Amino acid sequence: MTVSVKERVEQVYREESRRILATLIRLLGDFDLAEEALHEAFFIAVERWQRDGVPDNPRAWLVSTGRFKAIDVLRRRARFAASRPLLIAQLEELEQADWSDEDVEDDRLRLIFTCCHPALAADAQVPLTLREVCDLTTEEIARAFLSAPATIAQRIVRAKAKIRDAKIPYQVPTLAELPERLDSVLRVIYLVFNEGYSASIGAQVTREDLTREAIRLGRLLMELLPEPEVMGLLALMLLHESRRPARTSSSGELILLDDQDRTLWDSQMIAEGSALVERALGTRRFGPYCLQAAIAAVHAEAPSVEQTDWTQIVGLYDVLLRAVPSPVIELNRAAALSKRDGPLAGLALVEAILERGELLDYHLAHSARAEFCRQLGRVEQARQAYERALELTRQEPERRFIRGRLRGLR
């Protein structure tokens, strides 16, 4: 079937737009101007490619077109602005700047480090990166942070202004600067992967474009700084990604871990991830990502749910909770504990979390409570918990799964 030019432009936008934007931000030094130039370039592409054909290197064509459109914008501004000398200087610098398509691969990593610069407010670094590098919507980011979209939007606007006004450099830090910048970058990549592995909203359980991009960034970071926590994060992503083909049915329905066909798991990813876990733990300088990867490795290497070493998993969660106290980690530990000690033990932990007022708006907490109640035969409590989970869930396959559980209670 012949692909139309419009469909080809849309495909390039899906696959390349964030790389193109990252390069335009590097060239232009201005987030808003780069975004405007990006959209202008794609608009022009629909007409030009229809007439002249799709170029051999669409990404390079779009970067060049976007750059020239930005130069036109700056020329118009320079005619009327009071700051004309500054704009003229910016124009001259932009017109003389050299760039190569070979640089583009590293531009997203440069952009991540710019967005995670220590001069920016800590609570703005990750939202800005998720928005600009990964094209997550403000609503998706707010959901990842259990925060209001308006709050996230304000943080992003302030962070962009800070980068512009403080002239924060668009570059990967020196080796001496890397360690202090690493935590925010790891957290960004982790949140990108999570949004891809379990999409917060939409018609699909997973978003392969985000998981693939997070793993690519993780590999880039490994080349730059092969620290234990970088190894741990890359291992964690590989081990989770190995299970993605088994997480949905052929019709896109959600399949829980207990019911997954483990023959569909990617053995090469499991082997690579497990080797990275061993390497990281061997340094004895491991942290939360290594511990989470170790938990994922125990799951990945088990032939079945029944043969999983739940005692080891609970023990690893205990260590993880001491390192990073978190109600979400407590919730995950409750699920593991229920496998070892029964649903009543899991339910007690989940109810304790909810009684503290934590995770009240987190659908997975109510889903876990509902599941434990269902297993214990507490039908009315299970129904109430599933209904609350359904109110909070925005991903369609999860909503269908919960509705199926509710029908089963009847």
pLDDT (tens digit per residue) in 115-139: 888 889 888 988 898 888 878 888 8
Q: Which residue has the tokens 């070979």?
A: 102
232 burial level (CB within 10 Å; 0-12, 13-18, 19+): buried
Let me know the angle formed at the C-alpha of 183 by 177 and 186, rounded to the nearest 5 degrees. 110
Length of the chain measured in residues:
410
- Nearest alpha carbon to residue 218 among 233, 201, 205: 233
CA–chain centroid gap for 279, Å, is 25
Q: Which residue has the tokens 């998993």?
A: 313
The pLDDT of residue 93? 56
Across residues 261-282, what is the average pLDDT?
96
Q: Taking the alpha carbons of 133, 135, 141, 143 in that order, is the dihedral positive or negative?
A: negative
Among residues of the chain, what percentage have pLDDT more than 70? Answer: 92
State how far the Cα of 5 lies from the Cα of 118, in Å rounded to an integer: 43
Q: Residues 285, 266: contact at Cβ < 8 Å?
A: no
Q: Residues 117, 160: contact at Cβ < 8 Å?
A: no
Report residue 90's pLDDT band, with 50, 70 and 90 as the boundaries: low
Q: Residues 371, 356: contact at Cβ < 8 Å?
A: no
State how far the Cα of 23 lies from the Cα of 18, in Å rounded to an integer: 9
The residue with greater pLDDT, 244 or 78, is 244
Pull the structure tokens for residue 311. Answer: 């005692």
Cβ atoms within 10 Å, residue 110:
19
pLDDT digits (tens, 9 = 90+) for 360-388: 999 999 999 999 999 999 999 999 999 99
Pull the structure tokens for residue 77. Answer: 């501004």
pLDDT digits (tens, 9 = 90+) for 181-238: 788 889 888 988 988 888 777 788 888 888 988 898 899 888 878 889 999 999 999 9
Cβ atoms within 10 Å, residue 137:
14
The pLDDT of residue 182? 85
3-state secondary structure of 8: helix
What is the separation, in whole angstroms, between the first and last Cα of the chain?
A: 47
* Least confident segment among 18-27, 68-77, 216-225: 68-77
